[in-house]
Amino acid sequence: MIQYQIVYYSEATKLFSEQEIIELLTKANQYNSARGITGCLVYANNKFIQLLEGEHDVVVELYEKIKKDPRHKNLLTVIEMSVSQKLFPSWGMGFKFSEKTVLDNLGAIDCAKWIYSEFNLEASPGKEAIFNFAVRQGLMKSQVLPF
């Protein structure tokens, strides 16, 4: 089945606490799971990058809601494309919070290692956007600098 992906950047309108991120992701996981949406969210230095994927109309509907969310500004669509398979088929929402991973108790996946290992295995526009963001925001230092 053809899937649809959207990747966007945005700036948070305020600093998010760990508790606020947990609440945001808990609601997102519930909403996304019910609609077959998967993806990855990275938050660092008061910026977000998110990849959403699923059926076209469902992803577009969610993205329209996200555009109106007052918790962020300066939203920039990076990629919108159809793909043959999902990048995150089993992730309700992978997540990286600055230098600290949250939501262990909810089964969230720390996607920093995934970003590096998967990007190197097989590049795609969505992976490249997330990887480049992670490098620029300093999330990948331990994985990309020489040991």
The CATH number linked to 11 is 3.30.70.100
**What is the predicted pLDDT for the residue at 36?**
92
**What is the predicted pLDDT for the residue at 92?**
60
Residue 102 lies in a domain: yes
Arithmetic mean of pLDDT, 11-35: 86
Q: Are 40 and 93 in contact (CB under 8 A)?
A: yes
Residue 89 lies in a domain: yes
Total number of domains constituting the chain = 1
pTM above 0.85, yes or no: no
Residue 103 has pLDDT above 50, yes or no: no
**What is the predicted pLDDT for the residue at 57?**
97
Q: Are 6 and 65 in contact (CB under 8 A)?
A: no
Give the residue numbers spanning the domain of 77: 3-110
pLDDT tens, position by position, 28-73: 888 988 999 988 887 777 888 888 999 999 999 999 999 999 999 9
Residue 104 lies in a domain: yes
CA nearest to 99, candidates 127, 144, 141: 141
